[in-house]
Amino acid sequence: MSCQVIRYTALLSLLFIAGEALDGEANIPYFPRNLRFGPASPLKATYIDNLLGAALGYTVKQVPWNGMTITTPFDHPSAVVVLGIESGGAFIQQQGTTYSLIEDSTLDHVYQDLTNNVAARTERPTYFKYISVESSEDLTNLSGFHPKHLNASVEPDATFLKELSRLHQLVKDVIQVSSLSQGGQDIVFLEFKSLAPVVKEYGVDSTKVQEATNLLREQLALVTETAREVYSDNVLVLVVTMKGDKTLRYRRALLAEDEGNVDPNVSTGNSEDFPAIFNIILWTFLLLTIALIAISCSMAYMDPGRDSIIYRMTNPRMKKDQ
């Protein structure tokens, strides 16, 4: 009986993990000295915006993921550079700290959540930029690439190579409009989608896909070095690899389910400013109450002599008689 229970438990665990869609990876090839990344459970995509906001020094909602540690609250990164890769199921296998990724959101929604959070709190110049490499200009230069298996004259190989050649240059271009010179921070997202069509066309185990992932790995390493050079090593670089065949149906289904199961007898949650407002009102009320009691007691026991304010204001007849 106990063996059957163990088997059923193991089966349910596997089904739970499969239902969480562990299809991607989150890799940190470089992080500044005020951050530390250690072993942790799989990372949800919906947690990324809060983690990046905390890394930049902002107050965010706590998430149940303990892979990142902020060692000092006084030295924040000058920039966050996030590279989103639609892999089509292929894995890049980069150097650095890597976590399994639960794809419960998309990169553009992570960017929107992060910018909304930062824009509402920032008091310094902040540069926000979301760049889709497929929509970038000048995708005709293939210098530096000499593929053996990929064919630059046919699709989808040509698009992949063209977009790949633009990655590191896009990071260099950021410095021209960066807020770093004004003491600000940069939040830059780069989206690279052309690997997924190559995987779909040739298969994840094909020699062309293997060559494509090798070239992409080399280019991502170059992008990391470029970001470190641009921001003087004070930058957090995150590479998010997503399978790319999912939509936000999972997230929208959860939101719809939450909206459909609203209990009218349960109050809504408090805002993030509630603790501060509550403490301000509470202590102000207590201080005013204590001050009122002290003033009342001092006036009650005041000697109503001729030199006191009480005597002069309340005894006009006595003053006349004198």
pLDDT for 250 equals: 46
314 and 168, same structural domain? no
The whole-number average pLDDT for the span 167-187 is 80
104 and 220, same structural domain? yes
Q: Domain ends where: 232, 258, 284?
A: 258
Encode pLDDT of 28-55 as tens digits: 999 998 899 988 889 998 999 999 988 9
Q: With 90 as the cut, is the pLDDT of residue 257 above it?
A: no
Q: With 70 as the cut, is the pLDDT of residue 244 above it?
A: no
Helix segments in 107-248, DSSP class H: 107-119, 157-164, 167-174, 195-202, 207-230
Q: Which helix (H) or strand (E) holds 143?
A: none
DSSP annotation of 218: H
**Range name among 77-86, 264-273, 282-291, 294-303 with the lowest pLDDT average:** 264-273
In 3D space, the residue among 62, 63, 69, 29 whose CA is nearest the CA of residue 43 turns out to be 63
CA angle 294, 298, 301 (to 5 degrees): 140
214 and 142, same structural domain? yes
Q: With 80 as the cut, is the pLDDT of residue 12 above it?
A: no
The whole-number average pLDDT for the span 90-117 is 87
pLDDT for 252 equals: 45
In 3D space, the residue among 241, 250, 185 whose CA is nearest the CA of residue 216 turns out to be 241
Instruction: State yes or no: cis peptide before 39, omega within 30 of 0.
Output: no
Domain-embedded: residue 232: yes
Six-digit token string for 72:
């000092």
**Residue 239, beta-bridge partner list:** 27, 83
Domain-embedded: residue 264: no
Six-digit token string for 53:
């906001």
Q: At what angle do helices 195-202 and 207-230 cross, to 10 degrees?
A: 170
284 and 142, same structural domain? no
**Total number of domains in the chain:** 2
Measured between alpha carbons, how far is 82 from 240 in angstroms, rounded to an integer? Answer: 7
Six-digit token string for 134:
């497929």
144 and 200, same structural domain? yes
151 and 49, same structural domain? yes
250 and 279, same structural domain? no
Six-digit token string for 220:
């991502």
Measured between alpha carbons, how far is 103 from 122 in angstroms, rounded to an integer? Answer: 28
Domain-embedded: residue 266: no
Measured between alpha carbons, how far is 239 from 243 in angstroms, rounded to an integer? Answer: 13
Q: Please compute, for residue 23, the number of CA atoms within 13 A of its CA located in the half-sphere on the CB side.
A: 18
pLDDT category of residue 307 using cuts at 50, 70 and 90:
low
Domain-embedded: residue 6: no
240 and 116, same structural domain? yes
Measured between alpha carbons, how far is 65 from 61 in angstroms, rounded to an integer? Answer: 12
298 and 252, same structural domain? no
Domain-embedded: residue 4: no
Q: With 70 as the cut, is the pLDDT of residue 189 above it?
A: yes
Domain-embedded: residue 29: yes
Domain-embedded: residue 110: yes
Print the domain residue range for 313.
Answer: 274-321
157 and 197, same structural domain? yes
134 versus 220: the higher-pLDDT residue is: 220
For 265, other C-beta atoms within 10 Å of its C-beta total: 4
Domain-embedded: residue 265: no
Measured between alpha carbons, how far is 151 from 96 in angstroms, rounded to an integer? Answer: 30
Instruction: State yes or no: cis peptide before 316, omega within 30 of 0.
Output: no
DSSP annotation of 13: H
The whole-number average pLDDT for the span 162-189 is 81
